[in-house]
Structure 1
Amino acid sequence: MYTSGARKPLVRIMFDKFDTDKSGFLDSAELKSLCYDLGHPLSPVELDLALKMLDENGDGKISYNEFAQWWQQQDRFNKLTYDEEEIRSVTAAVKYFQHFDKDKSGTIDANEFKALYKDLLKNGFRIGTVEQALSTLDSNGDGHVSLREYVDWLVAVGSIVLKEKPAE
């Protein structure tokens, strides 16, 4: 993949270093180690939420692409740490999301989204038609709403308030 003399990108070096079992994925223990070693220890609750937020496809592990997407964000570690109020809000959002993820795939597909949409309307969200709402929440356009997309949307509309944290 890399020619001799070509340097691996830092994101690949970091991923490979912490993928200690060489599975091609980071699991919970490997993510915990990475955060701790880089000076950002996570509580067990934060670790659980971090794994859910970084695991875009809901398979229970973090692929290189999922990791790279997170790693490229300047405030990457700030997005993984929460105070008690934020933990309650994000945990409630995760449980709500999981209620509508009927097949437990880690994403909400178009069929599952219809029930979520109806419930959002019932709870006072005005988000247009079901198609418009799906398009809004599905920020990467893959036809599914991931937990991260859902939480990002809740933050954007002000349903979850995450406190500003100082830049790293």
Structure 2
Amino acid sequence: MAGGMPDRNFLVNVFQLVDKDRSGAIDSRELQSALSNGNWMPFNPDTVRLMIGMFDKKGSGTITFEEFGALWKYVTDWQQCFRSFDRDNSGNISKEELKTALTTFGYRFSDKFYDVLMRRFDRSGKGVIYFDDFIQCCIVLHTLTPEFRQLDRDQTGTATFTYEQFLLVLAKILH
């Protein structure tokens, strides 16, 4: 996922277009309306909240202009990534394309688990994953993996943890 930071004037213009209420910050509703997942459905609000949480350094629930540049780069990098794994240019990711993507990222899952991921992240019910849900799937895996690795001290793929530790990990992705 490569790509330079866009020109500051370009970002100012985009930020002003997204900041509909002219508050000087972008909230999840404004960001959701500005993003497109390529299938005319509203961008997944859970994905929007996860992304705002990643870039909202002050914990205000909004993105300032300074934070927006990093978020913009993040989304455009994910778009390039998504397109590279959407082999048939259908605008969505099939189960096989998801397997290819996650294997490329270093994940090794069973076929049965890919079925679980498809059910969880296929909001359209069409057996495919659109851009916004693909980002959410990747964020969730990216968040959970280091948490699991901390408990998998010998890096065997197995960990023992308490119910409370399990809930704490889930709380990080369930905002």
TM-score by length of 2: 0.44
More helix by share: 2
TM-score by length of 1: 0.45
